[in-house]
Structure 1
């Protein structure tokens, strides 16, 4: 039994009132109650009405009434006037010469169009929009995560920039303090000397006065004048405060310079990115008299030749030659650790991971393995593809490992491959990091990642420094010509500092070449009395550790 609610939902009401329908007009296709039948006939008395019981109704097209001819229904459509007309309009009216179409056929055509539109909406357009909606939802979620990561990175960069600025002023303080100590020591020494001479002269005056008072001839006769040596003052000690200059244009540039140390903070707008970019750069200028780099340590090793080294922290370094050992020594030359490897002729390259673990590439017959030293034990971390030998190594700031690989069978082709170690221990090759191949040859490629993400490569085979960007495209090359040295450029060890400067050894000319991050030559560093500088590393304090290939001696250079 139906409830009152369900019964109310099943009742069909009259099209003109709220009463239940009982009749149906087949001519007009409307539902009628008993009351509205009479009203419907009266209002449209000009046309005939086929009124039948509701259950006997016929569903058919209800043609509209003609507005010009009472009692006539429109059966055609005037194409020119775009309106429905009756037969009388077509025969005698203004539509006589116009093109027409049957309303029933037009209706059927429009129905097909509507059905096609429904199908297209349901089958194609709405699903397409739904997919786009899902994509936008994913994009929103991804954007939220990436902007959150961006904000975290921004905070990290803020901290790092403050650290770099602190380093700059610590450097300024260090140079200032060093100059102050040197000058104060010289002035104090001169002060002591002058006061000593004054004391000597006062004693001499007192002695002369006593001599004048004596009656002893021998005393006066033995007098010898010493005034001549006191007539000229000792050489004056000159002192000079370091030349501290600065430039302040808020919103544009901040700069400071002391001696040959120059740092600049530049604020500029890159038009192609439509965003503001600030960057910190360091420039090294011509040396100012009295300010020179310092050799803070000279260390003898047992490696002759000395092939490679990598700093650990501030005052220690791993070094190796062409035997099967790798030794860790401190700045005083004391051995801290020694690793014996399976490399009969020494490793091809060494590096340090972010966890301060030693990496080395095996230099055996095939040499396809890169090993990591954990708790004194060597374990294979990476195996290069068949036919490619692992040579030089470089660990990046992101934790990736750059490996110089050389083909062993058909040619001596050299290339650099980036290996990424995932958190789950999986090793992934990043094919886009360094795309280019390097000149064929036997020499190992030395590498260093710059603070802007560039990979700086010392290609001894080509006697060139090659720098590629994050996308693997070559930014510039340096062949040593701007340095104007007597012999040809012979690069090997290469490092970068916290300001983006590139430092590379030149064994032929016994010097270091220093470039800025864009490849512009700044200066050469020589006069540190080290033959054949070959191996190179830089510690956390920015001191350079330079190793001689022939003698195995390491010199540690500060304030360079």
Structure 2
């Protein structure tokens, strides 16, 4: 029988378990006798609310049966072992010196946590998810409308193109008909002239035969020969037949001229900023630029760096006018060096999401990756030379390259060794780039290229459509914009090294000028990169 109750249904105190209970703590959910009320109130670590006990105020506690002593109920709780225990367990050495609490008090503490959890779910979490579900329902409802508009726009563009092509075809057919009429008229005219001469020749033959058969001297004397006239054959009309020379269809350029769809970008974002709380919670503010940039560290190295790229917040790859790529820590200690496979000087480097090093080798016309200390050719070219490279957020490679005759430039997106997309012309079929130096993918998936010959930063979207060209800012008193190195930060801001003007331009994702960095003893800045904390690394080419 449970000693907490007797046959006469006398309820005992939860603390001493001997005296009859007379009071109840509403907050701790514990029943108390007169003596134990004072002891209970002496615990100032928590609030109490003592009221007279009313039978059936609370349901009888359901104590767990001890797994080690099946005849015992676990009325206490071992804080260290975090388990309920019975009186027999307490007397054993296993819980010697452990802090014990009354199970009901522990239950009360946990009940408060449960109540808080319930309150949070009901008042904050559940309404937030309901709002998200409502937003998703709205998006799904509007999905068909949006894609129907896209389909209509593409169909209309196709109809416009067909109409223009039909006009071109009809105009050329009309020209063909006109040329045919002129051609036929010229031939008919010459044919008529020849037939007239043939008719005259037949008549001359008849006349000559008649004279010869008549032996009439007067006819013979009157005859005038026309042979000299007939020997002079009329000029032949030479007509060169027209021909049609169809232009070769450049499918890629045709697609670009037709129009492009922006890429479907599926990303995730934290909903924490939308969680309903008693007080409004705002999203973290955009990290501001420092009023004055601070020089954090200088890593001494040989001169004329070509490229640098962050492996981590503590390690950075560099390469210059040697056939070796070197990994340094921020203290300037050389950690690793790798020689190029061909023995030629690398042009540019990048680090993949898995931490592998990628580099371009213009002399060998290859893009290579270093895995497990082994160098593998990822891309091998014949008619083009790779120059600069960056890794995209999706794990692909963007490579700038120039044709062997130096007349064409383009950016190619590779998945492994497969070319997925080529970016070369704008919507009017004009070249996008005059030169391709450093390249970087922004956080908004825009592609940023330093076009030094055009003295501009060329920014296209993921589909290759031109978004804007940044050509410097008129507020500077320096010389013409001289862009080389380019990188982007966590705020999608674009940073560009202005080589001859010894400064760094910072613009936002839409090309709006924000500021210069022209202190920190910048001398011929060439290559740039940022780490995950938006610390900027600058390579000097001097």
| TM-score category of the 2 structures, normalised to the smaller one | 0.3 to 0.5
TM value normalised by structure 2:
0.47
Which structure's residues are more often strand, by fraction? Answer: 1
TM value normalised by structure 1:
0.45
